[in-house]
Structure 1
């Protein structure tokens, strides 16, 4: 049964107004968005070239002879592909990048473990406290993110000398842990604040103390943030050059990947058949690691950004 509207004017007012052409549901201009898209694609193209071209040069020139690199560094060595220089870089006793993998992995594991052990409880205490002085502590840690590492390296040397840890692996580990704590605590605090406090209250009723509550209940829930911190810290330590180069002298006998490259290539800077293979060996693990783990970085950084 169809009911006719008695008042035509009232019926006209009830009809939804036609949406103006060129407008979307959110009120934005479709034409404006379409006009901006070429600019976005152009910027993305420039960024892609800037990021990819150095990696491309590094890969293709690692398998060329010296003359081929000088004549045409952008060409792909389809006919003259050789693994001789790569094999020489792997087995070189003078600047063995592969040998630096072991010591660098040791640093990564030690710093990551100590950083989690120290940053986790500190972030939990800050996130669950409403006192102003606790928030000042958080600001104190955040201040460390604005200080360049190179600016404090000289004071660090004097401090390590005073406590007897100069030119030691322990001193380098202590410095790296201290440098990774600010960002780690900041990320942990943001994530813990998204976890309901009722979980803590329930654990307290069951007789769990604060330490047990954190390590057995809260910490397992922090897996995305923990994975993000581990990835960021690992990449930063792997690529660090200034700290191991200054805090560990050559007499210590310990070389990271970056310092091993510097020690060897600085002697053969004009021999490109030694430069490119060693650089490729140094950056390949961290690039592969980042590509594989990037989804965990994004999820860990965004999971605590918005409260649902």
Structure 2
């Protein structure tokens, strides 16, 4: 042991790399200019529509038609935005309430159903349980628009066609596959010894999940809530088809569509309404994106 320590002590230390950094701290890979060009192109493609939407929401009809990319500081006005908020024909603010109600209700029902289901799948080693997980996972590969027509026939048969209850049932079912998949991956990183300790203390499986396991799932739950909320807020196909205009209920997206179809040539109504529709979800995503990333990666590696 003494000889080994002496050899280690006498071994020459590696010289620091140029610039004062030890070897291995830099990969030394040249930065490809093509990567920055590609990122720049993608940035322009994504930022131009947003720029047009924001700038033209505060301009007159003639300014939009003549110079859609310009920023006439003297011609900018909040009159059109105020008219969009208080319009009696189409008020996007009224759609906020119904859409928010839909988001909250679907999120709560999704957590209540996906949580226990994911816990049962994650803690079971039976083959048929894993087949159930594959069944839910298969639902993530089916486009939502592809099942709308069958959903309409099913809702008609059970008497829920053109109702809010039918729309909520459809949204909950469509959010379950991804939610269960994320929950299963996270629960499997939680030691089973915690369940055994709860069983010794007299807790059943139901109480073990909600009182012990569920509080530990906070990162995954936050991620699921954010993804589901953004998806429901931006959804257009489902509420447009499952809720006809006769129902009297409009989400933010369907209300914008109704207003645009009625005022297809009046751009001073189109742009402000679109900006009001997407602004909340964009701000919400920017603020919560770090929670999405942490929730998706926290269960990736056992630590």
- TM-score, normalisation: structure 2: 0.92
Instruction: Confirm or deny: 8 A CA contact 1:261 1:279 kept in the other structure.
Output: yes
Which of 26, 30, 33 is equivalent to 1:34? 30
Aligned twin of 1:131: 126
Give 1:52 shift.
1.4
C-alpha distance in 2, partners of 1:81/1:186? 48
Give 1:51 shift.
1.7
Instruction: Confirm or deny: 8 A CA contact 1:63 1:77 kept in the other structure.
Output: no
Pairwise CA RMSD of aligned residues? 2.0
C-alpha distance in 1, partners of 2:283/2:172? 24
Deviations 1:232-271 (A, max 9, x none): 0000000000000000010000000011011111121121
Which of 206, 214, 226 is equivalent to 1:231? 226
1:209 aligns with 2:220: no
**DSSP-derived class of the 1:78 partner:** coil
Aligned twin of 1:299: 294
Instruction: Confirm or deny: 8 A CA contact 1:124 1:214 kept in the other structure.
Output: yes
Which of these two proteins has the greater Rg computed from alpha carbons? 1
Q: 41-50 or 211-220, which moves further after superposition?
A: 41-50
C-alpha distance in 1, partners of 2:27/2:225? 42
**DSSP-derived class of the 1:261 partner:** helix
1:249 aligns with 2:244: yes
Which of 95, 104, 115 is equivalent to 1:109? 104
Deviations 1:32-74 (A, max 9, x none): x2242x2222222122212211111111100000111111111
1:151 aligns with 2:115: no
1:183 aligns with 2:171: no
Aligned twin of 1:267: 262
C-alpha distance in 1, partners of 2:286/2:26? 35
Deviations 1:74-131 (A, max 9, x none): 1123111111111111111111111000000010011000000000000000001111
Aligned twin of 1:170: 165
**Runs of 4 or more consecutive aligned structure 1 residues displaced over 6 Å after TM superposition:** 16-21
C-alpha distance in 2, partners of 1:220/1:55? 38
Which of 271, 280, 300 is equivalent to 2:275? 280
**Structure 1: tracts of 5 or more residues without a match:** 1-13
Give 1:16 shift.
6.9
- Aligned pair in 2 of structure 1 residues 78, 109: CA closer, same or farther (>3 Å)? same
- TM-score, normalisation: structure 1: 0.91
Q: 48-57 or 218-227, which moves further after superposition?
A: 48-57
C-alpha distance in 2, partners of 1:260/1:20? 62
1:57 aligns with 2:52: yes
C-alpha distance in 2, partners of 1:243/1:25? 56
1:120 aligns with 2:120: no
Q: In the comparison of the two structures, how many residue pairs are matched? A: 293
- Aligned pair in 2 of structure 1 residues 291, 29: CA closer, same or farther (>3 Å)? closer
- Aligned pair in 2 of structure 1 residues 134, 102: CA closer, same or farther (>3 Å)? same
Give 1:185 shift.
0.2
Deviations 1:122-163 (A, max 9, x none): 000000111111000000000000000000000000000000
Deviations 1:188-214 (A, max 9, x none): 000001111110000000000000000
